[in-house]
Amino acid sequence: MLQSLLSSEFKPQQLSPLVPGLLAISAVVALYPVGVRAIHKAEKDAALPSGIDAPVRVPYLSPGLPLLGHTLELARNSHRFLDWLLDLCHSREGKPFVLKLLGKNDLMITAVPEHHEQILKTQFENFIKGDHLYEMLVDVAGPNVVIIEGERWKYQRKVLVNLFSTRVLREHMMPIVQKHTQVLLEIFSTAASDAKPIELGELLHRFTLDSFTEIGFGSQLGSLAAGREHPFGKALDDALHIAAARRFVLKWVWKAKRWLNVGSERQLHEAVQVMDSLVMRIISDAIEQRSHRNDPNLDGQKAVRDIVSIILDRMQADGQSVEPSEVRSIALLSLIAGRDTTANALAWLLHMLHEHPNVEGKLRAELLARFPKLATSEDYVPSVEELQHLPYLEATISEVLRLFPIFPYTSRQCIKDTVFPDGTFVREGTDIGLPHYAMARLPSVWGPTAAEFIPERFLDSETGEVLDIPAATSSAFGAGPRVCVGRRLATLEMKLVVASIVGRFHLTEVPGQDVGYKVALSLTMKNPLVVTVERVDRVVADSA
């Protein structure tokens, strides 16, 4: 059994043979009354909001098994984790519930928007990312702004805010995205001319990898032009997939594998080495170059403005000692966030346009009315200024991010007894699960059409303008102090790519494909999405 646990093929469903051994420690049950008394005391001492007479304790989903609680149920559903949570949220009509998991804190699942507002914004200081998330991800991108707390979090976030300033975005980042979009369009044009299918998801990931490695590190991988995945991209995929899978494995199991350097943990270590062979070389070169220049415009040439260089400038201005490992954490996180989130969102959006031709028609009409050059110029891409005020495109992107959120499930840990305005009591030490994927499909949140793809829900029915939806309800980029600092770049990139593709091409999915999700940190398609490409003018002519 130990050998199977330490193998790279281990699946959470294999936990069941452990049950007899786990039951042998049933003496722990004797501590149950002590825990109950502690909970009651915490509830009694908690400060209550005005108008609330007594705190409301969130119930357990069901009694569960002795000691194991809901652990085996989670293991059985790990392959469909998001839909399992959706089923549970439906059964509770959107009300919160608690899961008891072996070796972990109680896990409270809430799909109530008002609770998300409290957790992410109003009582933000009471809810941290927690040690479990830190341990799960730190081996991939280091101690970065997503998983750290305190002063280092504040400093890294300040650096990132400067990175994504309006000036840097307009003058440096978007021109790079526009350049790679033109390469992407050449591939679509060739596919249309040759009538050969293309694999959309993999192509979009190569596009965002090329874009963000140049934005982040000033390095041109050229994976789009090469027509194949770069080793760095594969290593990044492998590392993130293995790290995300730790969520469903007992901590001691994956830590033992890491210590022994076997199975999936060995694969993770090797993937990180591949990533660092590129990233750390670029950082070292950037530091070395800075030590030999006094003028930022050496020889009259414009100073390099990739993310690594901007981070080094910021550290120097702040009087911070330059630690290559911290530069790596900030820059690599920017790459991971920009590459995966945008590529996944674009893939889901283009898939939904295939499924809803009426939406595609409305969107294309708006785009061609605003950008007539899309129909006459093969290499034209809109500018940042031109991408403003496209209400139907913005609504379509918002609807895709609602149903297919970038991060379908996020978590926090409560570090102080807390009572929400509706009286819900959250005990210190409780883990909180925020099921964004499930919440988007709940009638209690979005009404009877919650599970349907309707961009018009984000538009004012009278003016046609985009509605302002609270971030806690449609939290594609998070909310509160930890809201995604790169959200404007991601949105602009999506608008640019969608306008450039949909204004010129119609995509048809090859029949018989299983388009589902893969359980990962971000919402990724589990299978390739193969499409054929036709030029819009031909589609219009055929339908006339």
> What are 191-217's pLDDT values in tens digits?
999 999 999 999 999 999 999 988 888
For the domain 153-543, what is the CATH superfamily, name and number?
Answer: Cytochrome P450 (1.10.630.10)
Torsional sign, CA 462, 466, 470, 476: positive
Are 142 and 327 in contact, with CB atoms under 8 Å apart?
no
Burial 43-74 (b: 16+ CB within 10 A, else e): beebeeeeebeebebbeebeebbebbbbbbbb
Residue 3 has pLDDT above 80, yes or no: no
Residue 9 has pLDDT above 90, yes or no: no
* Alpha-carbon torsion angle 333, 335, 336, 341, nearest 10: 120
Burial 356-371 (b: 16+ CB within 10 A, else e): beebbebbbebbbebb
Tell me which residue of 203, 204, 182, 195 sits closest to 374, measured CA to CA. 182
pLDDT at site 1: 42
- pLDDT-based confidence at residue 543 (cuts at 50, 70, 90): very low
Distance CA 56, CA 357 (A): 47
Determine the average pLDDT of the residues in 504-530. Answer: 92
What string of DSSP letters covers 477-538?
A: T--GGG--TTHHHHHHHHHHHHHHHHTTEEEEEPTT----EE-SSS-EESS--EEEEEEHHH
Are 443 and 450 in contact, with CB atoms under 8 Å apart?
yes
pLDDT at site 283: 83
Are 351 and 509 in contact, with CB atoms under 8 Å apart?
yes
Distance CA 248, CA 82 (A): 13
pLDDT at site 23: 38
- pLDDT-based confidence at residue 4 (cuts at 50, 70, 90): very low
Residue 156 has pLDDT above 90, yes or no: no
Largest CA distance in the chain: 77
Distance CA 491, CA 346 (A): 10
- pLDDT-based confidence at residue 258 (cuts at 50, 70, 90): very high
Determine the average pLDDT of the residues in 415-443. Answer: 96
- What 8-state DSSP symbol labels residue 101? B
Distance CA 536, CA 231 (A): 35
Residue 522 half-sphere exposure toward CB, CA atoms < 13 A: 21
Token couple for 42:
């915490």
pLDDT at site 400: 97
Distance CA 223, CA 242 (A): 23
Distance CA 86, CA 517 (A): 14
Q: pLDDT higher for 450 or 42?
A: 450
Distance CA 406, CA 400 (A): 10
Determine the average pLDDT of the residues in 224-235. Answer: 87
Are 477 and 484 in contact, with CB atoms under 8 Å apart?
yes
Average pLDDT of every residue of the chain: 86
Residue 366 has pLDDT above 90, yes or no: yes
Residue 20 has pLDDT above 50, yes or no: no
Token couple for 52:
């609330």
Q: What is the pLDDT of residues 456-503, one digit of tens each?
A: 999 999 999 999 888 778 778 888 999 988 899 999 999 999 999 999
Q: What is the pLDDT of residues 373-401, one digit of tens each?
A: 999 988 899 999 999 999 999 999 999 99
Number of Cβ within a 10 Å radius of residue 483: 13
Distance CA 388, CA 505 (A): 22
pLDDT at site 27: 36
Q: Which amino acid is at 434?
A: L
pTM, two decimal places = 0.87
Determine the average pLDDT of the residues in 245-259. Answer: 90
Cα distance between the two ends of the chain: 65
Pairing status of strand 424-426 against strand 56-57? parallel
Distance CA 400, CA 131 (A): 31
Determine the average pLDDT of the residues in 118-122. Answer: 95
Distance CA 343, CA 494 (A): 9
3-state helix, strand, coil in the chain (%, to 5): 60, 10, 30
66 SS3 class: coil
Q: pLDDT higher for 352 or 311?
A: 352
What angle (nearest 5°) sits at the alpha carbon of residue 308, between those of residues 307 and 309? 90
- What 8-state DSSP symbol labels residue 172? I
Q: pLDDT higher for 103 or 32?
A: 103
Distance CA 4, CA 110 (A): 34
Token couple for 426:
């959250």
Percentage of the chain lying above the pLDDT 70 cut: 87
- 144-158, 223-237, 305-319, range with the lowest pLDDT: 305-319
pLDDT at site 243: 92
Which helix H or strand E contains 412, and what residues bound it?
strand 410-414
